[in-house]
Amino acid sequence: MDRAVFFGLLRQDVFPMLRREGFGGSGNSLRRMSGPLVHVVNFQASSSGGHCYLNLGVHLSFLPTPGGKDAAPDQLDEASCAFRFRIDSPDPSGGWVYGESANQAKESVTGLASGWSHVGKAFFESYAKYPDSFVSILDGLDPSEMRSVDLLSHARIAMHLGRVEQANRLVEAGLRKCPPVASSLRANLRRVVPPCP
């Protein structure tokens, strides 16, 4: 089945559902913004063809992207978000197949819409409000189970919320896990909490 047919069905059946929930934009990425909070839904065509991925992202406008750049909230893509998730399909590829017929394409799009309704909404619900959702996230963190790059994002959020002691603890945990060769990440971690005068 043609990719254009599949994406046509997405625009016909799934995009209106997302727009009713506050997402807007054009192309294959839709965004919903509230204060510093940005939610992104991205439909990514696979490079190998035959299917697309349903990617979700959450970012806060005061955070630089993982690449260290500032991004306008209305242009932010899912790959640049601090918090990311992919809704997998039952297909072994994890992607939502285009199908060999219009009926198969429709079935796949229906499955994707169901995945959004059951999994996507729950993902975004965890990041529904700023600052409340992020205070809850910070209160429940276990730094021992986190990567250094994730500790950096959480330390920046803690600092933005005035939780300096927690930001320091997250930075220290990030530095302990961060390999010496990751000099840029180590430098970013050290910059989170300004030194005392």
Strands (E) in 62-191, as ranges, are: 83-87, 96-97
Q: How much of the chain is in helix, strand and coil states, percent to nearest 5?
A: 50, 15, 35
**Secondary structure of residue 35 in the 3-state scheme:** coil
The predicted model scores a pTM of 0.93
**29, pLDDT greater than 70:** yes
Q: How far apart are CA 96 and CA 52, in angstroms?
A: 5
**pLDDT given at position 1:** 59
| Lowest-confidence region among 22-26, 28-32, 62-66 | 62-66
| Residue whose C-alpha is closest to residue 43's, from 59, 26, 60, 58 | 26
Q: How far apart are CA 104 and CA 1, in angstroms?
A: 9
**72, pLDDT greater than 90:** no
Mean pLDDT across the chain = 93
Average pLDDT for residues 118-124, to the nearest whole number?
Answer: 96
Residue whose tokens read 């409340």? 132
| Residue whose C-alpha is closest to residue 97's, from 148, 56, 46, 135 | 46
Confidence of residue 197 (pLDDT cuts 50, 70, 90): low
Report the b/e string of 167-195 with b at 16+ CB within 10 A. Answer: bebbbebbeebbeeeeeebbebbeebbee
Cβ contact 3:96 at 8 Å: no
Q: How many angstroms separate the first and last alpha carbons of the chain?
A: 64
**167, pLDDT greater than 80:** yes
**66, pLDDT greater than 80:** no
**196, pLDDT greater than 70:** no
* Long-range contacts from 18-26, C-beta under 8 angstroms, 24+ separation: 18/116, 25/74
Q: How far apart are CA 42 and CA 86, in angstroms?
A: 9
**pLDDT given at position 69:** 73
